[in-house]
Amino acid sequence: MTRDEQPIQADLILTGASQVVPFSDLPHGAVGEAVAEGTVRDGAVACRDGRIVFVGTAAACRREVELKDGGEEMDCAGQVILPGLIDAHTHLPFAGERAAEFRLRLAGKSYEEIAAAGGGILATVSATRAATDDELLIGCRTRMDRMLAFGVTTAEAKSGYGLSRDQELRLLRVVARAHDGHPLDLVPTLLAAHVLPPEFKDRRDAYVDLIIREIIPAAAREKLARFCDVFIEDGAFNAAEARAILMAARGAGMGLRVHVDQLTAGGGAELAAELGAASADHLEHVSREGMRALAAAGTVAVLLPAVDLFLRKTAYPPVAALLAAGVDVALATDCNPGSCMTENLPLAASLACLTTGLDTDDALAGITARAARSLRLEDRGTLELGSAADLAVFAVADRAAILYHFGINHCRTVVKNGKLVVRDGIPD
């Protein structure tokens, strides 16, 4: 700042951090070097009116930034400041838990066998349909509180356990209610094409038709879903059905995300790329052509490493090849009662590192900047002037320790839209 310039006014300053990691100006594919280069040591972040107004060293902050009357300055010595974390793939609204099924799987039954015997997703569908709106809301809020404590300030939330017009719309309305008045932002996704509902067991075409002719238009009319998703897999929906549903959703103004290539290779990534999907999720069995197509289309790969662990699968997504192909890689929990019962996003990132060899800086970008990109959110996921003042502060001196010391919560402070919402590990 020169002598004539006015100081930057701020209402919240976080300073003295051992590292501030902005994740700005990242290249496509691998980002480890760019993240390291952009990291500010002895750093500070200042916010005003819910936006970031300064990112730099603590010394520059002292020179250039002035705390407004009534503002707050927080000493972050020995801690790391990241953008608020973003969980790009969750099945947030549901009722019932499946601990008994967890034990069956440990005893040797496969996910597919349990589903074929009436368990699996359809067990959650029954419990969800039977739950009241308020019960569903409380379930969402409880999970959101846990996510926020881990430093998550934005999460995607899919429907998909209703599987009828009224039930799917009801779940999306619950998501909207859960979002209102909670510090964590939710990005709603319509996943009516999760599995075939039991009522349509021998009438696949009729259900696909219902999604296209009734559920998508109704969700669009009420502005309940920013994205539409389809589970493309044996036992769920095939590529032709997915294409019809996704094209209808695109026509109704929704962005697209798809569950693809999880249990079998099915050309799902190619379809996601062809339709211009924002994200292709899972990708354990993605093909070479699929990777090239994702990179060319700018479709973000959302990997769900905690699912592989939870399902005891050892076919991990080919992360190194995806990055080498120039694909942007995000990581998410897939929080859901059947295949991944956790809200712990940093744990999912640790597991990505441990199972695939992903670099810790690529993993941290995967739960911040890359996750934001997969949700087409341009105002968050990085620490840049004008970005949303969403911050997560971790009690570690080096950012890699967030993932290295795994399974516990290092997050002490969370800022959402410039307001302290978690202080010293306690919701404010």
To Zn ion, the closest distance from the beta carbon of 402 in angstroms equals: 24
To Zn ion, the closest distance from the beta carbon of 397 in angstroms equals: 35
Instruction: Specify the residue, 334 or 390, whose C-beta has the smaller distance to Zn ion.
Output: 334
Residue 390 makes contact with Zn ion by CB under 5 A: no
β-pairing, 411-416 vs 255-260, is: unpaired
Instruction: Specify the residue, 90 or 413, whose C-beta has the smaller distance to Zn ion.
Output: 90
To Zn ion, the closest distance from the beta carbon of 158 in angstroms equals: 7
Instruction: Specify the residue, 94 or 394, whose C-beta has the smaller distance to Zn ion.
Output: 94
Instruction: Specify the residue, 233 or 334, whose C-beta has the smaller distance to Zn ion.
Output: 334
Instruction: Specify the residue, 177 or 194, whose C-beta has the smaller distance to Zn ion.
Output: 194
Instruction: Specify the residue, 21 or 371, whose C-beta has the smaller distance to Zn ion.
Output: 371
CA–CA gap between residue 275 and residue 299 (Å, rounded): 10
For residue 355, what are its two tokens?
A: 């199972």
To Zn ion, the closest distance from the beta carbon of 186 in angstroms equals: 15
Tokens 């739960």 correspond to what residue?
A: 367
Long-range contacts of 356-360 (CB under 8 A, 24+ apart): 356/303, 356/305, 356/316, 356/317, 356/318, 356/319, 356/320, 357/319, 357/320, 358/319, 358/329, 359/30, 359/32, 360/399, 360/400, 360/402, 360/403, 360/404
Show the site string, 279-318: x = touches Zn ion by CB under 5 A, - = not: ----------------------------------------
Report the site for Zn ion in 330-349 (rule: CB under 5 A): 334
To Zn ion, the closest distance from the beta carbon of 231 in angstroms equals: 7
Tokens 């219902």 correspond to what residue?
A: 210
Report the site for Zn ion in 198-217 (rule: CB under 5 A): none
Q: Which residues are 19's β-sheet partners?
A: 41, 80
Count the site residues for Zn ion by CB under 5 A.
Answer: 1
CA–CA gap between residue 23 and residue 127 (Å, rounded): 41
Instruction: Specify the residue, 335 or 391, whose C-beta has the smaller distance to Zn ion.
Output: 335
To Zn ion, the closest distance from the beta carbon of 336 in angstroms equals: 6
Report the site for Zn ion in 131-150 (rule: CB under 5 A): none
Instruction: Specify the residue, 334 or 361, whose C-beta has the smaller distance to Zn ion.
Output: 334
To Zn ion, the closest distance from the beta carbon of 160 in angstroms equals: 8
Secondary structure (H, E, C), 292-360: HHHHHHCCEEEECHHHHHHCCCCCCCCHHHHHHCCCCEEECCCEECCCECCCCHHHHHHHHHHHHCCCH
To Zn ion, the closest distance from the beta carbon of 269 in angstroms equals: 15
To Zn ion, the closest distance from the beta carbon of 323 in angstroms equals: 22
Instruction: Specify the residue, 56 or 162, whose C-beta has the smaller distance to Zn ion.
Output: 162
CA–CA gap between residue 69 and residue 66 (Å, rounded): 9
CA–CA gap between residue 101 and residue 112 (Å, rounded): 12
Which among 177, 93, 165 has a CA at the least distance from the CA of 136?
A: 93
Stretch that binds Zn ion, among 170-178, 293-301, 327-335, 400-408 (CB under 5 A): 327-335
First vs last Cα of the chain: how many Å apart? 34
Report the site for Zn ion in 74-133 (rule: CB under 5 A): none
Q: Tell me the residue nearest to Zn ion as measured from the CB.
A: 334
Q: Which residues lie below 8 Å from residue 105, measured CB to CB, with a gap of 6+?
A: 111, 114, 311, 312
CA–CA gap between residue 69 and residue 71 (Å, rounded): 5
Instruction: Summarize as ranges the residues that interact with Zn ion (CB under 5 A).
Output: 334
